């Protein structure tokens, strides 16, 4: 199941996010995911595992499990590389061992002090606060992203973690419209207005953290997971599915692309089995009632400044 982007390319509705995946596990993870049926992999320079992903992709291509054109590969421009977009993209391509990317995203709508292409440091000042570069505008970054399309390095370009106003501005100055806005959204953080705005203007929404972060974000940010919500547990029992499958199905029925993360084969399989049932309109509406406007991914913990404040 895929969605057609405004660039004309098709993007699988479910992908595998590789954030916080250790290098040694990547090869087995991608191999198992491809065998299960995953064809969409969501990467980022900041995840610091593009080289390992590239090794894994090279092996599956060589083994004939899939061809390059069968896969949809996303990666992202880090904050410290906004003034070095082409170099950063080429660095990611080299690490991933690819000739082109299916999708390249601006990871966060903020440019920070340059620390060297591909280093993805948080660029903190002596005061422990993020060093934001006020000389590089998001418009300048976006036009450099557009150049990647004309250079043939990238098929589609997009944004990530942009709110309505920043998305609107990007649409105003874009020569090539953003194909995707990747944002945190799940039943506890539904962001219905942002999702509707993007979709109304032809921008596909990809839901990162589609399960509310679960264990990973609880460990890092002390957040609460929606997977423990009694409403979702009740629906899981009604449909004879896991809570995670209910949440992912809800995301798909919102017409958002979902990229759940897991390093366990049984979870990879579970997360992929969400196309054999459908939530009723009443149950979709029921899930709307549990929205808490609750963000679980909080980079302020590392940056000393809350960009969402």
The answer to whether the CB of 134 falls within 8 A of the CB of 113 is no
Contact between 211 and 217 (Cβ < 8 Å): no
Which conformational region is residue 186 in: left (phi greater than 0), alpha (psi within -120 to 50 degrees), or beta?
beta
Q: Is 107 annotated as a binding residue?
A: yes
- Is 47 among the catalytic positions? yes
Pairing verdict, β 2-4 and 16-17: unpaired
User: Which are the contacts of 231, defined by CB distance < 8 A and separation ≥ 6?
Assistant: 286, 287, 289, 290
CA–CA distances in Å: residue 145 to residues 50, 150, 170, 306: 19, 9, 12, 26
Which uninterrupted H or E stretch holds 42? strand 40-42
Q: How many helices (H) and strands (E) does the chain have?
A: 12, 10
Pair of tokens at residue 298: 């909080």
Structure tokens at 306: 């809350």
Region of 48 (left: φ > 0; alpha: ψ -120 to 50; beta: rest) is left
Token pair 């209910």 is found at 246
**40-42 and 16-17 beta bridge pairing:** parallel
Separation of alpha carbons 10 and 3, rounded Å: 6
d(CA 207, CA 248): 10
Active site residues: 47
- Tell me the binding residues for substrate: 107
């Amino acid at each position: 199941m895929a969605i057609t982007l405004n660039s004309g390319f098709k993007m699988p509705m479910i992908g595998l996010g590789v954030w916080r995946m250790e290098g040694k596990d990547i090869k087995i993870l991608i191999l198992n995911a491809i065998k299960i049926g995953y064809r969409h992999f969501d990467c980022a320079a900041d995840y610091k595992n593009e080289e390992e992903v590239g090794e894994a992709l090279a092996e599956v291509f060589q083994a004939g499990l899939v061809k390059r054109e069968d896969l949809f590969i996303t990666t992202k421009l880090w904050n410290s590389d906004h003034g070095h977009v082409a170099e950063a993209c080429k660095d990611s391509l080299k690490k991933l061992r690819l000739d082109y990317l299916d999708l390249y995203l601006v990871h966060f709508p903020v440019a920070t002090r340059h620390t060297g292409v591909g280093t993805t440091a948080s660029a903190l000042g002596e005061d422990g606060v993020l060093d934001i570069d006020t000389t590089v505008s998001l418009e300048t970054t976006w036009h450099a992203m557009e150049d990647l399309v004309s250079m043939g390095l990238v098929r589609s370009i997009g944004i990530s973690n942009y709110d309505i106003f920043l998305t609107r501005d990007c649409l105003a100055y874009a020569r090539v419209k953003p194909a995707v806005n990747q944002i945190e959204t799940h039943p506890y953080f539904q962001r219905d207005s942002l999702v509707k705005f993007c979709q109304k203007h032809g921008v596909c929404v990809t839901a990162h953290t589609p399960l509310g972060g679960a264990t990973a974000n609880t460990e890092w940010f002390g957040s609460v997971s929606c997977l423990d919500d009694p409403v979702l547990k009740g629906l899981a029992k009604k449909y004879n599915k896991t809570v995670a499958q209910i949440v992912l199905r809800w995301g798909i029925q919102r017409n958002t692309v979902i990229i759940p993360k897991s390093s366990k084969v049984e979870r990879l399989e579970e997360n992929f089995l969400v196309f054999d049932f459908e939530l009723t309109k009443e149950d979709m509406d029921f899930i709307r009632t549990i929205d808490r406007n609750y963000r679980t991914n909080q980079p302020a913990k590392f940056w000393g400044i809350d960009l969402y404040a």
